[in-house]
Structure 1
Amino acid sequence: MGPRRIVCLTEEPTEVLYALGEQDRIVGISGFTVRPPVARKQKPKVSAFTSARIDEILKLRPDFVVGFSDIQADIAAALIRHGVEVWISNHRSVAGILDYIRRLGALVGAGDKANAYADGLQRGLQAIERDAAALPSRPKVYFEEWDEPPITGIRWVAELVRIAGGDDIFPERALESLAKARILEDPDEVIRRAPDIILGSWCGKKFRPGRVAARPGWHAIPAVRTGQLFEVKSPLILQPGPAALTDGVVEIARVIRAWAEQEGAAACRPRS
């Protein structure tokens, strides 16, 4: 049977459980949940990301609470002290997201459905990767997760950029799990690495391409010279759940394919 009254402290368990048809088990969700949209209408909101209304969660009599990362450690500790069973995942990669889906399904007694769902997501990624392999060239991509200070993309984002046909310009930073370790102390490093595409996903606020292009010296970056600055909405890419493996990577692949087609057309243009 598995747990019957689940509180989801972040969006990804909510999205997974709805995808598995197990949404009736959910009794509370994060206030930042946007996927699926129906969840916001059906479920009470009891947490943010770094804080939660512990008393409200306890009133829901949960038998299982799901959260994400060390950032929610204090929330987890408070609930555990009240005798609540809590699972905090800490995955940071594409493989980790797929494994997370399988584990969550197993924990709630829906392992077969979760395995089938994860297998389908993996096949989708493989299809995108096959299509990307046929592109004539691969762009260098700078992904910015925050602007003040600039923070580069996390590991699963860099991996999805690669799957979509590009190369993240800060692969060494992507391996750092904490955002503070991905702060660009020297933004001129982006100029030196010369990305062909700039993707922005400023968590909680709108990406401003014009503001990025106006940074000192950034006019020399190929992406800025050719206007290749695009937003990927943060709910699509910054949650380590199904959204990133579906709509998020599809959006990145769309941008990269358009760039590759533009580059191919330019290469075929006759020179006078």
Structure 2
Amino acid sequence: MGPQRIVCLTEEPTETLYLLGEQDRIVGISGFTVRPAIARKEKPKVSAFTSAKIGEILKLRPDFVIGFSDIQADIASALIKHGIEVWISNHRSVEGIVDYVYRLGALVGASDRAGALVAQLEQRIADARERAAALPRRPKVYFEEWDTPQITGIRWVSELVGIAGGDDVFPEHAAMSLARDRILADPLEVVRRAPELILGSWCGKKFRPEQVTAREGWSEVPAVRDGELHEIKSPIILQPGPAALTAGLNALVEVIQGWAKRRAG
């Protein structure tokens, strides 16, 4: 049977449970949830990312709470002190996202459906790799998660850029799980690494290419010179759930394939 009353502190468990047809188990969600859209209409919102309404969560009588990352450790601790079972996943890679779907499916007794969903996700990845292999050249890509300070892409984002056909210009930063460890100490390092594509995904706000092109010294960056600055919507790429492997990967493929066609033309 598994848990029957689940509170999801982030979007990825909500999205995954809906995809598995197990949404009736969900009794509370994160206020930042956007996928699926119906969840915002059907489920009470009881948490942000670094904070939660502990009292409201307890009123929902959950038998299982799912969160993500060490950043939610204080929320998890508060709930555990009230006798609530809590699972905090901490995956940061594409493989980790796939494994997350498997594990969550098993927890709710939906292993077969989780396996089918994983097969679909893996096929999408394989298809993207095949398209990338046909590119005449891979672009150098700078992915920016935040503008002030400038923060580079996390591991699963960097990996998805690679799957879609690009090469992350800051692969060493991608290995750092915490955003503070991916802050660019010297923004001119972007200039030196000369990305041909700049992808912006400013979490919670709109990407402003004109602000990027106006940065001191950045006029020499190939992506700036050629007008190759593109937004990847943060809800589809910065959550380590199925959306990143579907809509997020699709957006990356579209931008990179478009870049290749413009270079060929």
The TM-score by the shorter chain falls in which range? over 0.9
State the 1:132 CA deviation. Answer: 1.0
| Letter paired with 2:104 | L
In structure 2, the residue matched to 1:202 is 202
State the 1:39 CA deviation. Answer: 0.2
| Letter paired with 1:126 | A
In structure 1, the residue matched to 2:232 is 232
1:26 & 1:186 partners in 2: Cα distance?
44
Say if 2:108 is the partner of 1:103.
no
Say if 2:9 is the partner of 1:17.
no
In structure 1, the residue matched to 2:133 is 133
| Letter paired with 1:134 | A
State the 1:102 CA deviation. Answer: 0.4
1:163 & 1:259 partners in 2: Cα distance?
15
In structure 2, the residue matched to 1:269 is none
State the 1:109 CA deviation. Answer: 1.2
In structure 1, the residue matched to 2:183 is 183
In structure 1, the residue matched to 2:162 is 162
Say if 2:68 is the partner of 1:68.
yes
Q: List aligned pairs for 1:242-257, cutoff 5 A.
A: 242-257=242-257
> Identity percentage over the alignment?
72
2:10 & 2:222 partners in 1: Cα distance?
37
In structure 2, the residue matched to 1:268 is none
What is the count of residue pairs matched by the alignment?
265
State the 1:87 CA deviation. Answer: 0.2
2:232 & 2:258 partners in 1: Cα distance?
15
Q: Could you tell me the TM-score, scaled by structure 1's length?
A: 0.97
2:33 & 2:261 partners in 1: Cα distance?
35
State the 1:202 CA deviation. Answer: 0.4
2:109 & 2:65 partners in 1: Cα distance?
15
State the 1:254 CA deviation. Answer: 0.5
2:186 & 2:108 partners in 1: Cα distance?
45
State the 1:110 CA deviation. Answer: 1.0
2:260 & 2:253 partners in 1: Cα distance?
10
Q: Could you tell me the TM-score, scaled by structure 2's length?
A: 0.99
Q: Alpha carbon RMSD of aligned pairs, Å?
A: 0.5
Deviations 1:79-137 (A, max 9, x none): 00000000000000000000001001111111111111111101111011101110111
Secondary structure class of the residue paired with 1:246: helix
Deviation above 4 Å: which 4+ runs of structure 1?
Answer: none
State the 1:149 CA deviation. Answer: 0.2
For structure 2, the residue ranges without an aligned partner over 5 or more in a row are none
1:38 & 1:144 partners in 2: Cα distance?
29
Deviations 1:191-225 (A, max 9, x none): 00000000000001110000000000100000000
Structure 1 window deviating more from structure 2 (102-111 vs 191-200): it is 102-111
